[in-house]
Amino acid sequence: MLRSFLPKKILSSVVIQTAAFFLVVITIMEFFARTSWAQKTYTYRSVGNYHYQFEIKWFRLQDFVQKNGGVDVIILGSSLVNTGIDPAIMAQSYYEQTGIHLRIFNFGVEGLTIAPNSVNARILVNKYHPALLIYVTEMRDYIATDGLDYEQRFLSNPWIQYQEGKFNFTGWLIDHSMALQYYLPYRNWMQANFPQLFYSSFIYCSKNTLASGYEPELAMGENIDLPPDPNNPDDAQYFEAYGNFQIAPSRMGNLHSILSLGQSEGTKVLIVEMPVHSTFYVYVGGDKVHKQFQQTISSFVLSNGGSFIPAERCNDIPLIGRANRWHLNYLGAPVFSSCLGQQLAILADEQNTHYLNLDANSLK
């Protein structure tokens, strides 16, 4: 009896001591991660999402809110927003028209269509309560098959699911542990391509993303003004992907989800159509198809309590200001941003509001 009892007692003691040791180590690490020195020294944070750019924007917005005492306007969308809107120029343009300073943040994330962004919108509005949410969209947003891989990978993240109210221990732990958030950027350190991937996807992007969330694009587009050729292999893939354009009901459901934030959360919602180059519409069937799209989206937005700014309101983009048929570069973004600030001022005057976040003091 004694011989069989001792090993179990010793084993139990070892397990308890080991668990206690790790608990102490974890506690020390967590305490250290929350010190001001650690937060100044370790600049990269992660929530375990595959999309580094989303994570950079998430923590950059936290820093923005802390520094500015809140955020009045969050601009949401894909890479078109990321490289196409400079919040500083937009805010200056709005100020020149109204005398009001707005705190504007660019949360454009590459590859995210309206489907994952409808979830992202709820998370951001619930956390920061901006006075205005601007969602910048274009025709590809409403193609059912566009961006599915990004969507599935983004939404399957445990932390995203936890933010959506779907409790899971992994998501809860990431959300509450700063030590884990500092570790997660390096979670793939054992992979052979980690140094190159980490630099290109995280460090480079982080260094080039301004405090306002804007990331300037340096590329200059070539032959953008020439109509696409279906016999050109580079164009053929886009004709195949966008040629039979139809608005998917599921994507309209995503749009409705964004617009509903205006009723449930008190945040005004503005839908802006991105001024892509006119030659893009050749892929989808021409200007007639585009006009039908605009009418459908505009009517839907207005009937659901939102506001809509069509692309032609801010389409005076010089050719040199485009990186390709979709994206603006560092020369085109200021033009669009200034125009968008002016359009927002006109809209604010019509609606008798200045989009100031009245809850800003609670976010300091």
Is position 261 within any domain? yes
The average confidence (pLDDT) of the chain is: 90
Is position 9 within any domain? no
CATH code of the domain in which 278 resides: 3.40.50.1110
Model pLDDT for residues 279-304, shown as the tens digit of each residue: 999 999 999 999 999 999 999 999 99
Taken in order 344, 57, 259, 360, is the CA torsion positive or negative?
negative
Is position 14 within any domain? no
Q: For residue 91, which of 106, 81, 77 has the smallest C-alpha distance?
A: 106
Is position 32 within any domain? no
Cα separation, 107 vs 60, whole angstroms: 9
pLDDT at 66: 95
Is position 31 within any domain? no
pTM over 0.85, yes/no:
yes
Cα separation, 258 vs 39, whole angstroms: 33
Is position 163 within any domain? yes
Is position 20 within any domain? no
Is the model's pLDDT at 360 over the cut of 80? Answer: no
More confident residue, 10 or 17: 10
Cα separation, 206 vs 185, whole angstroms: 12
| Structural domain count of the chain | 1
CA distances from 9 to 1, 16, 17 (A): 12, 11, 12
Is position 18 within any domain? no
Strand runs labelled E in 30-146? 73-77, 104-108, 132-137
H-helix or E-strand spanning residue 23? helix 2-33
pLDDT at 362: 41
Model pLDDT for residues 49-80, shown as the tens digit of each residue: 988 999 999 999 999 999 999 999 999 999 99
Residue 294 belongs to domain spanning? 46-363
Do you know the residue count of the chain? Answer: 364
Structure tokens at 130: 């901006």
Cα separation, 91 vs 305, whole angstroms: 24
Cα separation, 287 vs 216, whole angstroms: 29
